[in-house]
Amino acid sequence: MDAMPPDETTTAAAVVSGVAAFTEHAVRIAKAARMDLAIYSDTLDRRIYGDEAFVAAVRSFVLQHRRARLRVIVRQPVLAMRGAHRLVELGRMLSSRIEFREPPAERKLPQDEYLLADEKALLLRSAPEEIDAKYLPHAPLDARQQLRTFNALWEESVPAQELRSLGI
C-alpha cells in the first residue's frame, strides 16, 4: 500500500475502496484527531484496527493530551477477540483513555461502520462487508449528526467484558 501522508488541509470528500484504502484513511482520521475519537464496528476487523500504523496513530492520539479519549462500540465483541488484536491490547494498557462497549442485545442496531474524529472528520461505510466507504475529512454537520447517534448508543451500551479482561 502506498500510504500518502495525511493532509489535514484537504476538505474534499472521497470514496475509498477496499480494506487497504479504508485502513489508510482510518490512520488519517486517527492522526487528525485531537480530543475525541469514536469507532463503531461490527467485529473490529483486525486488518484495519489491528494494523500497526493505525494502532501507532491511536497510541499517539491518546497520549498527546490528558483529555484525549477513544471510545469504541463493538456489536460482536466475542468475534472481535478471536486471535491477537493490537488495538484491544493497547486498550488494556491504556484503559483510562480507551474504552470498549457493546450495545444492548435487544436493540436494533445500524449496520454501518464508522470512525469519527473531533466532530469534524468521518470515515463511513454502510456495512462491515462493504468494499466502498466515504471519507469526509472536514464535514462537521455530517460528523455531528453521526456523533449524536453514537453518543445515544454509547449511553445505552455496557462495558465489553470480553475486551477488558485478559483471555487466559
**Chain centroid offset of residue 138 CA:** 17
Sign of the C-alpha dihedral computed for residues 157, 153, 148 and 44 taken in this order: positive
Domain ranges of the chain: 14-113+125-164
113 Cβ neighbours under 8 A, 6+ residues apart: 40, 41, 42, 124, 125, 127, 128, 130
- pLDDT value, residue 129: 84
State the alpha helices, DSSP H only, in 33-66.
Answer: 46-49, 52-64
Q: What is the pTM of this model?
A: 0.88
Pairing of strands 158-159, 14-17: unpaired
pLDDT tens digits along 122-138: 999 998 888 899 999 99
Thinking of the domain 14-113+125-164, which architecture would CATH place it in?
Answer: 2-Layer Sandwich (3.30)
pLDDT tens digits along 19-44: 999 999 999 999 999 999 999 999 99
